[in-house]
């Protein structure tokens, strides 16, 4: 008899699926068990039953996995920031690498490629250089922290958990969080509510760099009458944390919950902070603004960029085209070994920082263009390249962009992705003309389900 909702089953967890749920099989059906770890024997309750698979939640561990460890954080299990903090780190990396290989073979149809040993994060704790803390109105005033874990089967926006500790970021970041929360609760202003578009406080983003520069970016609703409180918060943080490099206040009018500002309102200190990424004999510095997208694990970024550099095999005569280039991070890291680097990114703000970073590193062979890669005009204007680097958003490469890449026909494509499934789909798109020859999982996000992957595709 097929599994039904609310059935209680006993099963053995065989592996982790991308997303962090344990995978078991019951009567030939795949069952995804939230909270189950590889090697566990568990009792679980089915919360969703389909024809080909079921979803379940952990009720009890009857025989624990040898890979289980004691979580470090008191918030683990209730905070949505970590998914597998109770799994030994070496096993986390092994499971993520297996997910990458499975996706490339099963979805991507790739067969004869070299899967390099995965690159673990150089730091397992306190590795995050940027934290996006959210505000939410509670009964006793504004909360400030991270989103909680939603119960299995629930949909919608998880509530904000007032965290008191976090071991993914620096302890100083948590000190700044606590100080801001105390100030905001005393301000008399409420947190923003997207449901009715009311309230003031929206996000607090804390970024620190390898050069010990710190930027705090406060994002509020567009409410000029209340901007004085935001300015006062900045001054309070600057007094309490004298090593603060920059405080920026931005407003946001749109209801979407993205932790980015739309309009700069107030600033203390520097306009940007400087990040430094190193791998082997290559060291690069970057100017980062308040809305900059940059890899959140600085030492891990060195592993990622170093892998791209290794796979490219540049000799100094190649033109490198860097699509979805953001603030130019990868292209600039490769520029010393290329004849020319051309980056394309939709954000004008990111492109301006890419130019500034190229100048900071005294590079004269880099150029960056602000253009949408969904635009036919932009795609037609792409230069011919020997090596093409593409690091798209989680959803993967846009169809029109994929077709433009095939028209350009570079000798090598370096596809970088934070989602193995969309990466595998894109590899399949190119498979008629390109062969996947090499791949490596690079773990930038210990204790979460996320994994970065670098793949090398060579023209047939």
The pLDDT value given to residue 387 = 98
What pLDDT shows up at residue 186? 97
CB neighbour list of residue 195: distance below 8 Å, 6 or more residues apart: none
Q: What pLDDT shows up at residue 380? A: 85
Residue 153's pLDDT is: 65
Question: Which domains does the chain carry?
Answer: 8-63 (2.40.50.140), 90-123+297-459 (3.40.50.150), 130-271 (2.40.50.1070)
Average pLDDT over residues 398-426: 95
227 has binding-site annotation: no
Locate 321 and state its tokens. Answer: 């085209």
Q: pLDDT, tens digit, for every residue of 63-75?
A: 999 999 999 999 9
Q: State yes or no: pLDDT of 88 exceeds 80.
A: yes
Token couple for 456: 């090398």
391 is known to lie in a ligand binding site: yes
For residue 292, give every residue at least 6 positions away whose Cβ sits within 8 Å of its Cβ, in sequence order, or none: 326, 327, 349, 350, 353
Helices (H), 35-154: 89-106
Residue 193 assigned ligand-binding role: no
Mean pLDDT to the nearest integer, 381-398:
93
- Closest CA relative to residue 351, chosen from 380, 374, 371, 321: 371
What's the mean pLDDT when you consider all of the chain?
95
Q: CA-CA distances (angstroms) from residue 237 to 119, 126, 173, 177, 219?
A: 37, 21, 12, 10, 15
Among residues 458, 412, 414, the alpha carbon closest in space to that of 435 is found at 458
Q: Which of 6-10, 188-192, 409-413 has the lowest mean pLDDT?
A: 6-10
pLDDT, tens digit, 9 for 90 and up, residues 322-347: 999 999 999 999 999 999 999 999 99
Cβ pair 298, 278 in contact under 8 A: no
Per the annotation, the verdict on 327 as an active-site residue is: no
pLDDT given at position 376: 83
The percentage of the chain sitting over the pLDDT mark of 90, rounded to a whole number, equals 91
Task: Give the mean model confidence (pLDDT) for residues 261-273.
Answer: 96
100 contacts 18 by C-beta, under 8 angstroms? no
Measured CA to CA in angstroms, residue 50 lies from 2, 7, 29, 274, 300 at distances of: 9, 13, 10, 50, 38
Tens-digit pLDDT profile for residues 276-310: 999 999 999 999 999 999 999 999 999 999 999 99
Tokens describing residue 272: 């940007």
pLDDT at 152: 67
pLDDT at 243: 95
- Residue 438 pLDDT > 80: yes
pLDDT at 19: 87
Question: Is a pLDDT exceeding 90 seen at residue 361?
Answer: yes
The DSSP symbol for 460 reads -
Residue 446 has pLDDT above 80, yes or no: yes
Confidence of residue 375 (pLDDT cuts 50, 70, 90): confident
Q: Is 336 part of any known ligand binding site?
A: no
- Considering the candidates 79, 166, 327, 418, report the single residue annotated as catalytic: 418
443: nearest Cα among 16, 45, 38: 16
**Helix (H), strand (E), coil (C) string for 186-244:** HHCCCECECCCCECCEEEEEEEECCCCCEEEEEEEECCHHHHHHHHHHHHHHHHHCCCC
The encoded tokens of residue 441 equal 């999982």
Interval 199-255: pLDDT, tens: 999 999 999 999 999 999 999 999 999 999 999 999 999 999 999 999 999 999 999
pLDDT digits 0-9 by tens, 106-144: 999 999 999 999 999 999 999 999 999 999 999 989 999
Alpha-carbon distance of 373 to 27, in angstroms, equals 46
Residue 314 has pLDDT above 90, yes or no: yes
pLDDT digits (tens, 9 = 90+) for 151-178: 766 778 899 999 999 999 999 999 999 9
If one counts every other C-beta atom within 10 angstroms of the C-beta of residue 292, the result is 24
């Amino acid at each position: 008899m097929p599994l039904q909702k609310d059935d209680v089953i006993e099963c053995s967890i065989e592996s982790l699926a991308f997303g962090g749920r344990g995978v078991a099989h019951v009567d030939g059906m795949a069952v995804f068990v939230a909270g189950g770890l590889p090697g566990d024997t568990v009792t679980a309750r089915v919360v969703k039953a389909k024809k080909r698979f079921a979803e379940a939640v952990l009720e009890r561990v009857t025989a624990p996995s040898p890979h289980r460890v004691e979580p470090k954080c008191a918030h683990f299990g209730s905070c949505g920031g970590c998914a597998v903090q109770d799994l030994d780190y070496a096993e986390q990396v092994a499971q993520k690498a297996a997910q990458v290989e499975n996706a490339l073979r099963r979805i991507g149809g790739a067969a004869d490629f070299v899967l390099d040993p995965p690159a673990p994060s150089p730091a397992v704790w306190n590795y995050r250089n940027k934290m996006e803390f959210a505000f939410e109105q509670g009964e006793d005033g504004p909360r400030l922290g991270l989103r909680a874990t939603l119960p299995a089967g629930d949909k919608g926006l998880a509530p904000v958990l007032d965290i008191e500790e976090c071991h993914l970021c620096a302890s100083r970041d948590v000190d700044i969080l606590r100080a801001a929360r105390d100030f905001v609760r005393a301000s008399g202003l409420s947190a923003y509510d997207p449901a009715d578009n009311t309230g003031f406080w929206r996000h607090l983003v804390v970024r620190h760099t390898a050069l010990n520069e710190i930027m705090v970016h406060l994002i509020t609703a567009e409410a000029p009458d209340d901007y004085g409180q935001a300015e006062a918060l900045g001054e309070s943080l600057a007094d309490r944390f004298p090593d603060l490099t920059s405080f920026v206040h931005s407003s946001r009018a749109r209801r979407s919950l993205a932790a980015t500002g739309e309009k700069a309102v107030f600033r203390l200190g520097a306009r940007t902070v400087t990040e430094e990424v190193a791998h082997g004999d290559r060291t690069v510095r970057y100017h980062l603004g308040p809305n900059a997208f940059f890899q959140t694990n600085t030492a891990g970024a060195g592993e990622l960029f170093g892998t791209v550099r290794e796979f490219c095999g540049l000799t100094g005569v190649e033109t490198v085209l860097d699509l979805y280039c953001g603030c130019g991070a990868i292209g600039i890291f490769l520029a010393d070994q290329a004849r020319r680097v051309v980056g394309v990114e939709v954000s004008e703000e990111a492109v301006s920082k890419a130019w500034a970073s190229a100048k900071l590193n005294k590079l004269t062979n880099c150029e960056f263009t602000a253009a949408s890669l969904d635009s036919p005009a932009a795609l037609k204007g792409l230069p011919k390249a020997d090596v093409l680097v593409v690091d798209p958003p989680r959803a993967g490469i846009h169809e029109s962009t994929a077709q433009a890449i095939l028209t350009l026909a570079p000798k090598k494509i370096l596809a970088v992705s934070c989602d193995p499934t969309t990466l595998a789909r894109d590899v399949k798109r190119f498979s008629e003309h390109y062969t996947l020859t090499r791949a490596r999982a690079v773990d930038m996000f210990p204790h979460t389900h996320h994994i970065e992957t670098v793949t090398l595709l060579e023209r047939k």
